[in-house]
Amino acid sequence: MTTVEVPHSSRSAVLRVSAVIAETGDACSLVFDVPEDLRERFTYQPGQFLTLRIPSDRTGSVARCYSLASSPHTDDRPKVTVKRTVDGYASNWVCDNVKAGDELEVLPPSGVFTPKDLDEDLQLFAAGSGITPVMSILKSALARGSGRIVLVYANRDPESVIFASELRELADKHPQRLVVVHWLETLQGLPSVEGLAAVVAPYAERRAFMCGPKPFMDRVHDALAQVGVPRNRTHAEIFNSLAGDPFADAAPVEVSEEEQADAATVEVELDGETHNLSWPRKQTLVDIMLSKGLDVPYSCQEGECGSCACTVLEGKVEMDNAEILDPEDIEAGYILGCQAHPVTDHLKIQF
């Protein structure tokens, strides 16, 4: 049995696995018990993810982000779904080792892949395990929203379809609101731009959310553009393996007198509250917010997970690493707080 004595950071918590569900031959779901005193910290939005600390003989541990497939509106406990990947240490360890009753160290929910309005008509796209956050959005919108939804779900074959029976039940329960389109590689080949465009053309006015391998999402982006969906109405979830240790507490920020004298000022809106901070130019936004004791959302601090995405309302920043952001996202003002440094003397930023 896997047990964790104490959390490795002030931000993480140890959660008990209440159930392990075999979804397909190569995917399983972990359902977590959340103690009453942690309920508020582990409240989540549809489409968010948890970061798990996975034991490793070689490095002590690795950190991996897994999307929540549960809905905060329909499920009593949070559930993440993990699919094995070739040579994927963490995913294979989870599927091979984790049992009900085990304990894992977990960071609170994070991520911005979540709709602002559950009443909006949506088009959802998923490939393989990309269904996980999409399923959370789908169930939430059906339970608490009033909009119509089309889901396009690509897989290798029928046996690879995660949540197949649950999707059938939802489609049967909501025939006027939900259309599920399965795209199976063994029958239709790989999804093509032309084929996807033909499927989604009737739904071009709807906001789009997508998750899956990059080639799949590139084709979805192209198909949506072909039928006239503006890029600012498309949202993509992107995960990279985390190289650093988000479970380690951040080191104190040390700023010289010279750096402090040249610091920018920033007005940050977080959770409805406004904070006015001094921002030394060599420090990232996440660094200075942590140094002031603010509960800024972040996981990796490497620009790889998108947890700290925020919007520049005034001013300009430069970023060390912004590969997970599309050019259109950057043009719209999105930045990664853990990679951002001030360029202008005054900025206004919103989380």
Per-residue pLDDT tens digits for 207-236: 999 999 999 999 999 999 999 998 889 999
- pLDDT for 257: 86
Strands 334-336 and 309-314, how do they pair?
antiparallel
With H, G, I as helix, E, B as strand and everything else as coil, classify residue 265.
strand
Report the CATH number at residue 278. Answer: 3.10.20.30
pLDDT band per the 50, 70, 90 thresholds, residue 150: very high
Angle between helices 164-173 and 131-144 (to 10 degrees): 20
Is 90 a domain residue? yes
Q: Are 265 and 337 in the same domain?
A: yes
- pLDDT for 67: 96
Is 105 a domain residue? yes
Number of domains observed in the structure of the chain: 3
pLDDT band per the 50, 70, 90 thresholds, residue 24: very high
- Mean pLDDT computed over 199-212: 96
Asked if pLDDT for residue 113 goes beyond 70, the answer is yes
| Last residue in a domain, options 237, 266, 286 | 237
Is 173 a domain residue? yes
Is 288 a domain residue? yes
| Last residue in a domain, options 190, 206, 237 | 237
Asked if pLDDT for residue 1 goes beyond 70, the answer is no
Is 95 a domain residue? yes
Asked if pLDDT for residue 125 goes beyond 70, the answer is yes
DSSP notation for 98-144? --TT-EEEEEEEE-S-S-S-TTS-EEEEEEGGGHHHHHHHHHHHHHH
Output helix, strand, coil percentages for the chain, rounded to the nearest 5.
25, 30, 40
- Mean pLDDT computed over 28-40: 97
pLDDT band per the 50, 70, 90 thresholds, residue 243: low
Closest CA to 165 of 21, 322, 263: 21
Is 117 a domain residue? no
- pLDDT for 325: 83
Q: What is the pTM of this model?
A: 0.84
Q: Are 129 and 200 in the same domain?
A: yes
Is 1 a domain residue? no
Asked if pLDDT for residue 241 goes beyond 80, the answer is no
Q: Are 133 and 226 in the same domain?
A: yes
Q: Are 99 and 138 in the same domain?
A: no
Per-residue pLDDT tens digits for 52-72: 999 987 778 889 999 999 999
Q: Are 128 and 198 in the same domain?
A: yes
Report the CATH number at residue 47. Answer: 2.40.30.10
Rounded CA separation 306/300 (Å): 9
Is 243 a domain residue? no
- Mean pLDDT computed over 164-174: 98
DSSP 8-state symbol, 68: B
Q: Are 91 and 137 in the same domain?
A: no
| Last residue in a domain, options 207, 237, 267 | 237
Rounded CA separation 278/347 (Å): 10
Q: What is the mean pLDDT of the chain?
A: 92
pLDDT band per the 50, 70, 90 thresholds, residue 310: very high
Dihedral pair phi/psi, residue 178, rounded to 5° = -120, 130
Asked if pLDDT for residue 114 goes beyond 70, the answer is yes
Rounded CA separation 330/324 (Å): 10
Q: Which residues contact 164 (CB under 8 A, 6 or more apart)?
A: 158
Report the CATH number at residue 219. Answer: 3.40.50.80
Poorest-pLDDT segment among 107-116, 201-210, 322-331: 322-331
Rounded CA separation 107/111 (Å): 12
- Domain range for 102: 13-109
Q: Are 222 and 157 in the same domain?
A: yes
Q: Are 230 and 162 in the same domain?
A: yes
- pLDDT for 322: 86
- pLDDT for 210: 97
- Mean pLDDT computed over 326-332: 79
Q: Answer for the pair 253, 335: CB distance below 8 angstroms, yes or no.
A: no
